[in-house]
Amino acid sequence: MSTIEFRRRAKRGETGAGERRRFRPRLGRVPRAAWVCAAIACVNAIAWAATTPPYWIPDEPASIGYVQYVAENGDVPRYGVTSDLSGEQGIVYGGLPFGVEGRPAWLKANSDAMFDLLDAGTADRTRPGQAGYMINYPPLYYALDAIPYRIGYGANFLDRLFAMRLLSALLAGLTVLFVFMFLRELLPSTPWSWTVGGLAVAFQPMFGFMSGGVSNDTLLYTCAAALFFLMARAFRRGVDLKLGVGIGVALAAGLLTKGSMLALLPGTALGLGLIAWRAKGPARRPALRGAAAAAGVGLLPYGVWLVIGNLILDRQASDTGGVTSSTAGYDLSISGLLSYVWQSVLPKLPFMADQIPWYVPWTIYFQGFIGRFGWAQYTFPLTWNRIALGLFAVLAGLALRELWLSRAAVRARWPELLTYLTMFGGLVLVIEIAAYRYHATFYGQYFEQGRYLLPMLALYGAFVALAARGAGRRWGPALGAFLIVLAMGHSLFAQLLTIARFYS
């Protein structure tokens, strides 16, 4: 019996409970292509984990410190201590030696000396300040990463570090799985486009690079992709208690990972509200129940964490949320904020002070998305970025064409589109607000990075899938295949760029 036939019969009330039970697992089954895309993302991230030297993923030393503190003490790090490295971290820091703009030494003697020191086992493994400036973040990712650390407890520190990186690689696979499932809900009539979108994300170089390191961003990507998938499912099939709980779990996990997840709350709330509003008659009550479950399950753990952080762990709620920095200054103003946010996306108006010397969407977000690796420190040549811009412009044209051709469906699904746009806009707004605070505090330094947009990977997958569909029924699959091979090449060149940066 086909899905359509089953639905028709279910509508007429001709399906029995047993039949429904048998059918449900089939509906929820994950396509094999999704697993393959996920495996590709995971293996690709493992390749990145082996390629990038220790500490050269943004914020990795402090992130490793946080994990090591949790794994060694079974507790979260506390405020009020000076930033420090554990003895093991310090050996690696000095032995590489590490510098944001540097590269590891290529001397065998250097490497051997560092391993001898680590193998001696005399260096301490934990110090109160080893989480450094990452202390603001909630502990979920670090607690999860403490598992591989503990599994490899007897091994060398650098071996444990590699094990920690492998968890991020696993999360990359999970992220792509959710992106694939999101596309399945979003574009149900063209299964081939799910594969195209899933693979485009799996080979995205910044995603691969970040997924090869110890960073809470990786779990944030997973939670955001899961949220997109579940929201799309809610729009497609209606939200019930089970789905509401699922949305809540994705939200809660994201919030307990990084404060950036707060940026997706308005869009999620809007989406759930619209679903409940559009549900008619008897469908409205389950929808409201589902939305309430999402809110409760999503926000309660985070609230508990904030209270515990405040009362027991001496963390201010604003710091604990990871929304602000404990080092943020107070030279802030609403007019300054509005001017900064305006200039981050639009040309400066005559009465505004010139706060940003470049065009953020191009210099930061686009070039950063194509690839700005290390500590936002090396990138593809400008010519490559210009070629990529040209390609993306063509893809945007094709995606718009597809939306125009499907305008009837787009019109019918406006709440869903509005929800995704609000989630995207919310993230950009939160990044820019944080960027303004950082800029005002750190004497004109800039905060934005392309990688901060990666929680929107599901939308990137949708963009590529739509663009391929926009090429029409005849040429769409061929364009999709061509784009994926280009994405594979892009990923390889990014890895070669990294190899050239650190080893040549």
Partner 1 sequence: MRVRLAIGLGFAVVAVGLLISLGRSDQRLAGTNAQVQVSGNAVPVAAGRVLCQPEGIPADTAEVRVYVGTPARVAGPLDVTFRKGGRVLATGTLRELRDGVPATASMSPRIANEVPGAKVCFHNRGRSRIYLAGDRTPVRGSGANPYGTVFDDEPRVDYLRPGRESWLALAGTIAHRFGLEKTSFFGPWTMWVVFGLIGCTWLAAVLLLLRRLPAR
Burial (CB < 10 A; 0-12, 13-18, 19+), residue 9, is: middle
Q: With respect to partner 1, which residue has the nearer C-beta, 117 or 231?
A: 117
Q: Quick one: residue 501, left, alpha or beta (phi over 0 = left, psi -120 to 50 = alpha)? A: alpha
Q: With respect to partner 1, which residue has the nearer C-beta, 136 or 268?
A: 136
- Alpha-carbon distance of 162 to 141, in angstroms, equals 16
The secondary element (H helix, E strand) that includes residue 205 is helix 205-211
By the rule CB under 8 A, 199 interacts with partner 1: yes
- Alpha-carbon distance of 368 to 387, in angstroms, equals 14
Helices (H) and strands (E) in the chain, counts: 23, 2
Site string for partner 1, 468-497 (x = CB under 8 A): ------xx-xxxxxxxxxx-xx-xxx-xx-
Token duo for residue 137:
């973040």
By the rule CB under 8 A, 325 interacts with partner 1: no
Torsions phi, psi for 358 (to 5 deg): -140, 170
Residues 35 to 64 in contact with partner 1, rule: CB under 8 A: 36-37, 39-40, 43-44, 46-47, 50-51, 53-54
Q: With respect to partner 1, which residue has the nearer C-beta, 40 or 71?
A: 40
Q: How far is the CB of 360 from partner 1 (least distance, A)?
A: 15
- Alpha-carbon distance of 363 to 435, in angstroms, equals 15
Interface residue with partner 1 among 9, 19, 33, 359 (CB under 8 A) is: 33
Q: With respect to partner 1, which residue has the nearer C-beta, 199 or 251?
A: 199
159: number of Cβ within 10 Å: 12
Which of 151-159, 240-248, 333-341, 397-405 is the region at the interface with partner 1 (rule: CB under 8 A)?
A: 151-159
Which of 69-77, 110-118, 222-230, 257-265 is the region at the interface with partner 1 (rule: CB under 8 A)?
A: 110-118
Site string for partner 1, 348-367 (x = CB under 8 A): --------------------
By the rule CB under 8 A, 230 interacts with partner 1: no
Contacts of 308 (CB under 8 A, 6+ apart): none
Interface residue with partner 1 among 15, 23, 83, 103 (CB under 8 A) is: 103
Q: With respect to partner 1, which residue has the nearer C-beta, 12 or 108?
A: 108
Q: With respect to partner 1, which residue has the nearer C-beta, 44 or 216?
A: 44
| Interface with partner 1: number of residues (CB under 8 A) | 77
Give the number of C-alpha atoms closer than 13 A to the C-alpha of residue 65, restricted to the C-beta side.
Answer: 26
Q: How far is the CB of 493 from partner 1 (least distance, A)?
A: 7
Q: With respect to partner 1, which residue has the nearer C-beta, 340 or 447?
A: 447
Q: With respect to partner 1, which residue has the nearer C-beta, 102 or 303?
A: 102
Give the single-character DSSP code of 263: G
> Which one, of 256, 235, 147, 121, lies nearest residue 184 by Cα?
235
